[in-house]
Amino acid sequence: MPLMTSKPMFDLAYDGGFAIGAFNVNNMELAQAIVEACAKESSPCILQISKGARKYANIRFLKAIIDAAVEEYPNLPICVHCDHGDTVELIKTCISDGYTSVMIDGSHHPFEENIHLTAEAVKVAHAAGVVVEAELGMLGGIEEDVVGLDAAEYEKNVEKFLTDPQQAAEFCKRTGLDSLAVAIGTSHGAYKFKHEAKLAFGRIEEIMKTCPGIPLVMHGSSSVPQEFIDLVNKYGGAMPNAKGVPEDQISMAVRKYGVCKVNIDTDLRLAMTAKIREVFATKPAEFDPRNYLGPAREAIVGMVRRKLHVLNSAGKAETVIAHWKKLGSPMPTYYTRKKAG
């Protein structure tokens, strides 16, 4: 099964009460664990590559790993997505590198500038058969190159930073985007909130009314599982007061509202780090990377499988493939040219 855009996935997810897990990939073990979990649960998946991941791992290596995953799991619908692209030049580069979906993030710009940047990215991507996600509204927290608002300030004034439903309608109309990342009370990183999170479900409902049919995306949606925080802290880490988005609220946003994509990165990092710390602490003589990266990979498999049930996407791979074929098996021009050449 070749790579595909997110369109066949979102077409079914919007009315089907499920969302696609978008998992960030930085190395081989992460990619292996994510696709293995999705294959075991027969779930479509989105593999996200950020600007930071490109810098860390070299996109040629990451792309080769993903190509291997596609060959290894021929019945698994996979979309390769640029996470938080910030310039049209980066979007062009990602398209040339074979991404099937891109995000242009102009949320930190004034409204009109965000529209202009997004419209330019859409023009470039659509010409290549690639779909575009854009963002409107502001999130709190920090994760990699994404610097949001101070968590305390965000929590105190969250209503002020949520996506405006009327602006969202104008934004979608004027840019021609394919999916919209919305600010609904989530936050980046492991220290998302001082208190219990409470997603703005009423705001999601309003956006669905002003932007009917537009797939919505939740960033900053890791749940920061307590078992991994406990392991990190038990074996020498220092992560007091780490707090994420409760899984029951994520599930509600997915099953009842138009959320079709949920981004998960922090939870992957926590699972990997927690297990590596455990091995180092309990087996201090261990120096074989396979003997600590292996358990870390297994921990990620288990965590991702759990997330797929939270997102209600387990068992949806076959229907996505059937829909993709019904659409004519569309592929970005990168792949059609590659096949022709």
Q: In this structure, what are the phi and psi dihedrals at residue 258, rounded to the nearest 5 degrees?
A: -85, 30
Given the structure tokens 């261990």, which residue do they identify?
A: 286
* Active-site hit among 11, 15, 67, 83: 83
Q: In this structure, what are the phi and psi dihedrals at residue 49, rounded to the nearest 5 degrees?
A: -125, 120
What is the DSSP code (8-state) at residue 188? S
Give the burial class of 241: count Cβ atoms within 10 A of its Cβ; 0-12 exposed, 13-18 middle, 19 or more buried: exposed
Q: In this structure, what are the phi and psi dihedrals at residue 126, rounded to the nearest 5 degrees?
A: -65, -30
Question: What's the token pair of residue 114?
Answer: 């965000």
Distance CA 115, CA 113 (A): 5
Longest dimension (CA), the chain: 60
Contacts of 53 (CB under 8 A, 6+ apart): 24, 25, 26, 62, 83
Question: What's the token pair of residue 291?
Answer: 């003997």
Distance CA 215, CA 302 (A): 27
Give the dihedral sign, CA 329/180/46/19. Answer: negative
3-state SS, 260-310, equals EEEEECHHHHHHHHHHHHHHHHHCCCCCCCHHHHHHHHHHHHHHHHHHHHH
Q: Of the candidates 20, 28, 34, which has an alpha carbon nearest to the alpha carbon of residue 268? A: 34
265 in catalytic set: no
Contacts of 322 (CB under 8 A, 6+ apart): none
Q: To which H or E segment does residue 91 belong?
A: helix 88-96
Q: What positions carry a catalytic annotation?
A: 83
